[in-house]
Amino acid sequence: MKPVLHWIGLIAISFVSLQLFFVARIALMRVVPPESTAFQRSEAWQLARRPGSLHWQQQWVPYAQISDNLKRAVIASEDDNFVNNDGVEWEAIEKAWQKNAKAEALALQRAQRTHSSAKPPRIVGASTITQQLAKNLFLSGERTLLRKGQELALTMLLDRILGKRRVLEIYLNSVEWGTGVFGAEAAAERYYHKPAARLSAYEAARLAVMLPRPKYFERVPNSGYLASRASTIVGRMRDAELP
């Protein structure tokens, strides 16, 4: 019994130590921008493995030097309740969980009827801006309940320690906008040859629409969906509340 209790104690201590490490890292981000994120390091490794493909664009700019158009567009597109939520939209998570469970059950039924292996269904997410930042900063891309629990804990820490304005500032300076293109300044220069401070409403909306699939839209900049969805986001931007 004692060895079991010993290992349980070690696991508990390790877990608490990890959370304290995250708290310290996040507290430091109140004054010092993160040098890189876990996602960026993973992308840099992937690019470095391809000869001649390591092309990296990123430049940190303060919150005030990012166009309000882009802030409003990203909030309207990614998290329209950003200012008012606690970093997590619990109702949206519950709905996504139910939808994913239903999709998995249907995939299993089809596999049983056709006597074939079940094709994994497309997983529907319900991530807020703060959750996306938590994942990008600290976590891997795996999908497990343990990882999801850590994501939610980190999300609430980010929301409480940093506040909405700093969360949005770090997010806009670190999010991916194409292969090796990270942050608002790099995206504005890459696609519009201007600083992020001078983005128009429509330019900002197009960048916001790219976020879920930046590498895809980088390859198909004339996508009809991109243009149509950007026009919709422009119409919603006036209602987006800034921190």
- Kindly state the average pLDDT of the residues 5-29: 84
Q: Please give the pLDDT value at position 238.
A: 94
pLDDT in tens, 45-86: 888 777 665 688 899 999 999 999 999 999 999 999 999 999
pLDDT in tens, 105-138: 565 666 566 665 545 444 445 589 999 999 999 9
CA dist 158 to 26, 144, 229, Å? Answer: 7, 21, 30
- Domain ranges (residues) in the chain: 37-86+163-243
pLDDT in tens, 226-235: 999 999 999 9
Q: Is the pLDDT of residue 162 over 70?
A: yes
Reported as a pLDDT band with limits 50, 70 and 90, residue 16 is: confident
Q: Is the pLDDT of residue 87 over 50?
A: yes
Tell which CATH architecture fits domain 37-86+163-243. Answer: Orthogonal Bundle (1.10)
Give the residue, 15 or 26, on which the prediction is more confident: 26
Q: What angle do CA 42, 48, 50 make, to 5 degrees?
A: 115
Q: Please give the pLDDT value at position 122.
A: 46
pLDDT in tens, 92-109: 666 655 565 565 556 566
Q: Please give the pLDDT value at position 148.
A: 84
pLDDT in tens, 170-192: 999 999 999 999 999 999 999 99
- Kindly state the average pLDDT of the residues 134-145: 84
Q: Please give the pLDDT value at position 149.
A: 87
CA dist 155 to 45, 195, 203, Å? Answer: 26, 29, 29
